[in-house]
Amino acid sequence: MRMLKFLLQKELQQILRDPSIIRILFIMPMIQLLILPLAADYEIKNINLGVIDHDHSQYSRNLINKIISSGYFRLKDYSATFPQAIKSIELDKADLILEIPGHFDRDLIQENNNTLFVAVNAINGIKAGLGSAYIQAIINDYNQDIRTQWIQFPRFNPQPMIEVVTNNWYNPNMNYRVFMVPGILVMLVTMIGSSFAANNIVREKEMGTIEQINVSPIKKYQFILGKLIPFLVLAMTVLTVGLIIARVVYGIVPLGSYSTIYFFATIYLIAILGFGLLLSTYAQTQQQSMLVSFFITMIFNLLSGLYTPIESMPEWAQIITRFNPVSYFIEVMRMVMLKGSGIADIRPHIIAMLGFAVFFNSWAILNYRKRSV
């Protein structure tokens, strides 16, 4: 179609002439993908631990050794009393304090429970929170080791063996990058796509050139397509840059195929770009469209399961994630990357995403008016 050809040509010329385009297409994804996972990773690995050992037994020493040798913790402080240990938290020397009571070995074996005390430094919540989760996991693991060692009757062991496997699976550091990088990439593509689309039409409004389009015989769907296609190419470029970084820097190779990712990404981006275009049909200034798109994609991202597993969200938030296109793409990414899922496995996601794409784009076309009332 000739009309579309001219629209696309014009749009591409403008995009390529935009001096910030290289920054958006290449620098931004690189920085985000290189810094974000590394920065987060660093925190998780070096949790400063303070220990108060009232027991001084072989078991308590073993436990401490086990914790330190996990690689997540650095033993920073060894105190005799709790107030002393708390001081190290106050001085920010320790993120986490583990207090091992006297008779730890006896309690552990005879009473089937341990009464370890963990105090966290709430100032760095993420670090301390993760740290205490790790410590719990390590202690559980240790607990089982001890018991399989000492209690010779497995039927007394109330904890199923599968627990150990689960602990490994949830060992965030082992899977951390493979888990996070695809998610961050989705977030990145979403932010760039939606803000680009949202700002573009508004820019034409601000410049006044939209009047010239509106007074021409261009049809509404042609105009929207003329915007959608170039941005799709753009966002796909970002995705490609991101996938290359994931592969080269993090060695993340999807178990499934790239074509599945690209197939789903195409539908996903049409939906997200449609959403951006929809915003731009309402907004009058770039500040408006920028703020609103930033605000909404922020919510999309926070409720996407990228940071918080969807299963651990409250019920209402879980319902919201079903109306959140981002969570579908993150899930698909992880399915394809980690589980090797193919098109057939993500059928429900594809159908849902087609729904989003049709919904946002039809709304954008409907709401884009060539004539004001």
Point out which residues pair with 79 in neighbouring strands: 52
Residue with smaller CB distance to other proteins, 167 or 214: 214
Which residues, other chains included, contact 200 with Cβ-Cβ below 8 Å and sequence gap of 6+?
A: 227, 231, 280
Separation CA 150–CA 288 (nearest Å):
67
Which residues, other chains included, contact 43 with Cβ-Cβ below 8 Å and sequence gap of 6+?
A: 124, 126, 127, 130
Stretch of 83-91, 206-214, 299-307, 323-331 lying at the interface with other proteins (CB under 8 A) = 206-214
Residue with smaller CB distance to other proteins, 18 or 90: 18
Separation CA 178–CA 181 (nearest Å):
6
| Shortest spacing between CB 207 and other proteins, in angstroms | 7
Residue with smaller CB distance to other proteins, 56 or 369: 369
Residue 284 in contact with other proteins, rule: CB under 8 A: no
* CA dihedral sign, ordered 80, 84, 90, 93: negative
Point out which residues pair with 117 in neighbouring strands: 99
Pairs from 297-301 (Cβ < 8 Å, separation ≥ 24):
297/190, 297/191, 297/194, 297/195, 297/326, 300/190, 300/324, 300/325, 300/326, 300/327, 301/187, 301/190, 301/191, 301/326
Please count the residues of this chain forming the interface with other proteins, following the rule CB under 8 A: 25
Residue 295 in contact with other proteins, rule: CB under 8 A: no
Stretch of 11-19, 158-166, 270-278, 341-349 lying at the interface with other proteins (CB under 8 A) = 11-19
Residue 22 in contact with other proteins, rule: CB under 8 A: no
Among 22, 35, 161, 215, binds other proteins (CB under 8 A): 215
Residue 146, both tokens: 């001890």
Among 136, 212, 259, 285, binds other proteins (CB under 8 A): 212
Site string for other proteins, 158-197 (x = CB under 8 A): ----------------------------------------
| Shortest spacing between CB 6 and other proteins, in angstroms | 3
Phi and psi at 218, nearest 5°, equal -55, 135
Phi and psi at 49, nearest 5°, equal -115, 135
Residue with smaller CB distance to other proteins, 10 or 347: 10
Among 115, 216, 285, 287, binds other proteins (CB under 8 A): 216
Separation CA 40–CA 307 (nearest Å):
11
Among 214, 240, 266, 367, binds other proteins (CB under 8 A): 214
Residue with smaller CB distance to other proteins, 18 or 92: 18
Residue 367 in contact with other proteins, rule: CB under 8 A: no
* Angle (CA) 118 96 171, round 5°: 85
Q: How many CA atoms lie within 13 A of 64 on its CB side?
A: 22
Stretch of 47-55, 126-134, 146-154, 213-221 lying at the interface with other proteins (CB under 8 A) = 213-221
Residue 90 in contact with other proteins, rule: CB under 8 A: no
The candidate with the shortest Cα–Cα distance to 101, out of 111, 91, 114, is 114
Residue 155 in contact with other proteins, rule: CB under 8 A: no
| Shortest spacing between CB 204 and other proteins, in angstroms | 9
Residue 347 in contact with other proteins, rule: CB under 8 A: no
Residue with smaller CB distance to other proteins, 213 or 313: 213
Residue with smaller CB distance to other proteins, 7 or 232: 7
Separation CA 326–CA 182 (nearest Å):
12
Residue 286 in contact with other proteins, rule: CB under 8 A: no
Residue 360, both tokens: 């946002």
Separation CA 245–CA 177 (nearest Å):
12
Residue 10 in contact with other proteins, rule: CB under 8 A: yes
Among 28, 109, 218, 338, binds other proteins (CB under 8 A): 218
Point out which residues pair with 53 in neighbouring strands: 100
Site residues, other proteins (CB under 8 A)? 2-3, 5-7, 9-10, 13-14, 17-18, 207-209, 211-212, 214-218, 370-373
